[in-house]
Structure 1
């Protein structure tokens, strides 16, 4: 019996989890449909395997609090941090405010509340496609990295154990309101019309994001196979 290398063992385990009907460890629980073509392509290569991915999403996130050097700081997930809305599907973007849980989240009108260090912001985010790929050796990792960079994925890099992170900087991250702890309400700094503008910007970014994924898929197919 031929013993598999550590890379082949890792790849076999990952492929088995992809084929499993059990949910994975991501918040969504499964692989985004838009990621499947490039994941299937990369995993068909004997020297590469995907370890995590996201096809791109918008999210409306309430910052939490965390203890830092003995002081309570706001920002990031932390305690109380939560998503009000998340979608990987551009069709869900319009009128997302009508889809959040209004029984627990009260959406107020425009507020003139001033910012301070304790303010827990509500952030509107568009986060683009990201893919992590474990490679058998540095030569393969270098080829994949150079291919991604040539496609415009300028935030990419090679980490330890020949793990390639493929990333692009077409994100959107802007505060639209804050969490009022006294009233347990979400209060907006901006108008509904401004949020509609952000929605339209996100739709443009979804389109660009999908186009970049397709270019990357074709370039990997042509240059690494």
Structure 2
């Protein structure tokens, strides 16, 4: 009889089966972004790590839902909808051709205003690790190549993130009408900035891939395992984990 797998190995086995499956996954897109596949396969080749979710980076245009006077300005509200989403940089330049916008006659806003938000969100990757040592190794590697928004959450899940995002209001959503309060040339400028962010994002993904290949996959864990935590280091780790749990609960 084969030995029983522990909880981590069972979880990893299930995730790898899902990745290999041709069936749609649970993400809105229904499949893993192609740009993420190299780094996903690399990380999953490590016996103490498995990827749980990812996004290679995307441009989205979001119309906020209805809000009341107690809503926060910029909050998503109820009934919001995605007008446009793409993970493909080649689709950035002409996204406006799909919509009929009108020019906003009144730019006054308050807490009930439903904004149209133009958003670029960079690469993000969540990795479940077997223990704190392997989680710390991945976290330190990500931080060392500029993924400064990364953190270690509960159950040794490492969120690998970088801050090259863009999030600006470009209009309002009123009576089911899309009303812009920016000019076409401003949208063109945003698209150009987004294209540069896509390029920067891909460069950082390649850099992270190389770092993981050279500093984790190519090295035994014991060579890079940190010394036992000091009280100050443990306090900082607990603080990061608490912030990550709060962020997950707010989604």
- TM-score by length of structure 2 reads 0.82
Tell whether the 8 Å contact from 2:68 to 2:111 is kept in structure 1 after alignment.
no
Partner of 1:36: 37
Tell whether the 8 Å contact from 2:60 to 2:119 is kept in structure 1 after alignment.
yes
- Separation in 2 of the partners of 1:132 and 1:83? 23
Question: Which of 116, 119, 123 is equivalent to 1:125?
Answer: 119
- Separation in 2 of the partners of 1:73 and 1:206? 30
- Separation in 2 of the partners of 1:72 and 1:147? 39
Tell whether the 8 Å contact from 2:63 to 2:83 is kept in structure 1 after alignment.
yes
| Residues 88-132 of structure 1: per-residue CA shift (max 9 Å, x gap) | 000000011113xx4xxx410254321111100000000000000
Question: Which of 99, 103, 110 is equivalent to 1:109?
Answer: 103
- Separation in 1 of the partners of 2:153 and 2:201? 23
Is residue 27 of structure 1 aligned with residue 28 of structure 2?
yes
Residue 65 of structure 1 and its aligned partner are, at CA, apart by: 3.2
- Separation in 2 of the partners of 1:110 and 1:67? 21
RMSD of aligned C-alpha atoms? 1.6
Matched ranges for 1:33-182 at <5 A:
33-65=34-66, 75-99=74-98, 102=99, 106-181=100-175
Question: Which of 193, 198, 201 is equivalent to 2:185?
Answer: 193
Alpha-carbon distance change, 218 to 37 in structure 1, aligned in 2, over 3 angstroms: same
- TM-score by length of structure 1 reads 0.92
**Which structure 1 residue ranges, 5 or more long, are not aligned?**
none
Tell whether the 8 Å contact from 2:68 to 2:112 is kept in structure 1 after alignment.
no
Alpha-carbon distance change, 212 to 23 in structure 1, aligned in 2, over 3 angstroms: same
**Which structure 2 residue ranges, 5 or more long, are not aligned?**
218-251
Residue 67 of structure 1 and its aligned partner are, at CA, apart by: 7.3
Residue 26 of structure 1 and its aligned partner are, at CA, apart by: 0.8
Question: Which of 175, 194, 205 is equivalent to 1:202?
Answer: 194
Residue 201 of structure 1 and its aligned partner are, at CA, apart by: 0.1
- Which structure shows the bigger proportion of residues in strand conformation? 1
- Which structure shows the bigger proportion of residues in helix conformation? 2
